[in-house]
Amino acid sequence: MHHSRAGKFALAATALVALAGGFVGVGAAAASTVSADTTGETYVIGTDTTFAPFEYREDGELTGIDMDLVRDIAASQGFSVEIKSLGFDAALQALQSNQVDGVIAGMSITDERQLIFDFSDPYFDSGVQMAVAEDNAEITGYDDLAGETVVAKRGSEGETFANSISAEYGFTVKALADSATMYDDVKAGNSVAVFDDYPVLAYGINQNNGLKSVTEKEQGSSYGFAVNKGQNPELLAAFNTGLAELKAGGEYQDILDKYLDAPAASSDTSFFGLLADSMPALMKGLGLTLLATGLSILIALVLGVLFGFFTVSESRILRGISTIYVSIFRGTPLLVQAFFFYFGLPQLTGQSIDVLTAGVLTLSLNAGAYMTEIVRGGIQSVDAGQTEAGRSLGLGYVTTMRRVVLPQAVKIMTPSFINQFVMTLKDTSLLAVIGFAELTYQGQQIYASNFRTGETLLIVAALYFIVINLLTMLSNKLDKRFNK
């Protein structure tokens, strides 16, 4: 991360509230006079995950208009970029919490966002279109939407436009996180229409997403590259300089033509073709899922045993500490914990934290709280007479616990430990919201570009099912071997 991220940070609560969307950055005019001295620097750039043709994955690699632009500009201006694919909401939170230096994600330059971020010169003039399911002959324009529900992407130009005409035409707007999910919502009949940026909609229709556009393009805002207000002015100036050079040299138009001129649909549309294409990325995601699960379970086991003994301790202080720990992590949602550790903690401490560390912290502390209760329940389920018998034989408290109580308690606790292990493995899927590239995240990347949501999720679910059952069988065998 570039050195300029240090400084005064907002309260961590801002990072959690930011999910509501609808905010961001400031005009580029102030940055235009700054010397673009970025040579040799490395900047971390946040982006969306599912906004083809601006950013999407092809053969496992991030590509698209935004990705080509920022990489070509970086090369021409002598700096390097590290791309973090987070999702739109998460990217904006990451920028505000200084986890990234800038965001390029097909983001419209609006007055509200210019209160918070500095924007580059516009690099694309967008617009909004409405689409319905291919077989829908009833909705042909805005006049047919009375009493209906439409869908738009949260925080997007499409949502703003839909809300601006909703009262006039008498329809309700609901917001979802990404284009692929919105299109599926319309095809499922939960919404009658979708409002989306016209190039994104055109790309999806070309990829056989099952929709058709029924309105002309409405004039929308321009897209811009954003940094935090008053921060990284040299990066913004370098982006503007590089963008102007790309436009002057013709490379800018080449990039647009590459992605906007009728992109070719996938040649192999069979299920097995999808399986073959998806497997490399899904295996990478599965590896990260198992890594995060393994690390989290080991840490959670230590925490569970430690705080479990605190819970049954004769010390009121230790019991109090354990009670507070368990209450906090059992009493708050896992997603809130993930957002806090990845977005909120850096704002409080001024230190960035990588996504794997944030994910493991979230899972291990959460699972540790449940394991604490498993340990407490296991120990207390051993008949109190066992402890009294050990003490009457002259054994001390520690020796009685180690020799008499724990061997019996472990047999009682093991099935619950196995169950918690499985729960933690499944909980890794929630880390997709902070950009952790585990199995579910990889699945989202795949159907975001090919729009074959049902088939992709079926493959992902099958992989979870196989791995969880294999690990459960292994755990049960170990249980029988050590707890005869």
Q: Which CATH number is 308's domain given?
A: 1.10.3720.10
Q: State the pTM of this model.
A: 0.70
Q: Is residue 119 domain-shared with residue 171, that is, in the same domain?
A: no
Same domain for 374 and 242: no
Same domain membership, residue 231 and residue 169: no
pLDDT band at 208 (very low <50, low <70, confident <90, very high): confident
Q: Does pLDDT of 2 surpass 60?
A: no
pLDDT at 385: 73
Q: Does residue 122 have a cis peptide bond before it, meaning omega lies within 30 degrees of 0?
A: no
Residue 339 lies in a domain: yes
Summarised one tens digit per residue, pLDDT across range 422-466 is 999 999 999 988 878 899 988 888 887 777 888 899 999 999 999
In a domain? residue 265: no
What tens digit of pLDDT does each residue of 258-300 get? 888 755 555 556 888 888 888 888 999 999 999 999 999 999 9
pLDDT in tens, 18-37: 433 333 333 333 333 344 57
Average pLDDT on 47-56 reads 87
Calculate what percentage of the chain has a pLDDT beyond 90. 52
What is the model's pLDDT at position 451?
Answer: 77
Q: Does 88 lie in the same domain as 139?
A: no
Average pLDDT over residues 130-156: 94
Q: What is the pLDDT of residue 120?
A: 97
Query: What pLDDT digit, counting tens, does each position of 64-113 carry?
Result: 999 999 999 999 999 999 999 888 888 998 999 999 999 999 998 989 89
Please tell me whether residues 243 and 107 are part of one structural domain. Answer: yes
Percent of the chain topping pLDDT 70: 88
pLDDT of residue 6: 34
Question: What's the pLDDT score for residue 4?
Answer: 37
- 241 and 290, same domain (yes or no): no
Nearest-angstrom CA–CA distance, 244 and 238:
10
Q: Say what the pLDDT of residue 265 is.
A: 52
Number of domains in the chain: 3
pLDDT score, position 12 = 36
Residue 126 pLDDT: 87
The predicted structure's pLDDT at residue 397: 67
User: Residue 299: its pLDDT value, please?
Assistant: 96
- 356 and 375 share one domain: yes
Structural domain boundaries, residue 71:
3-123+224-255
Q: Classify residue 262: in a domain, yes or no.
A: no
pLDDT the model gives residue 484: 59
